[in-house]
Amino acid sequence: MTARTALLQRSAARPASVLAALRLAACAVLAWRERAVQRRELAELPEYMLRDIGLTRDQALVEAGKPFWVE
């Protein structure tokens, strides 16, 4: 394999890996946003709904207080 052929192969493979990285980043951002929305909504649930899902107000506030990037 010549140096030119190797260079062409590497440059041809690069866009796929860049696209894959962008897809992963986009998926992470969407997951973070969804998690933030869910935690905000959890913090706003009334007591009777928290009881229905088996959580206390304190447990809900602890979960809602976590940063969006923490699962």
**C-alpha span between 26 and 12 (Å, rounded):** 23
- This prediction's pTM: 0.69
Classify residue 47: in a domain, yes or no.
yes
Classify residue 63: in a domain, yes or no.
yes
Classify residue 51: in a domain, yes or no.
yes
Cα dihedral 59, 62, 67, 71 sign:
negative
Classify residue 46: in a domain, yes or no.
yes
Number of domain units in the chain: 1
Domain extent, residue 60, equals 22-71
Classify residue 34: in a domain, yes or no.
yes
Q: Would you give per-residue pLDDT tens digits along the chain (71 residues)?
A: 566 666 556 655 566 788 889 999 999 999 999 999 999 999 999 999 999 999 999 999 999 999 999 99
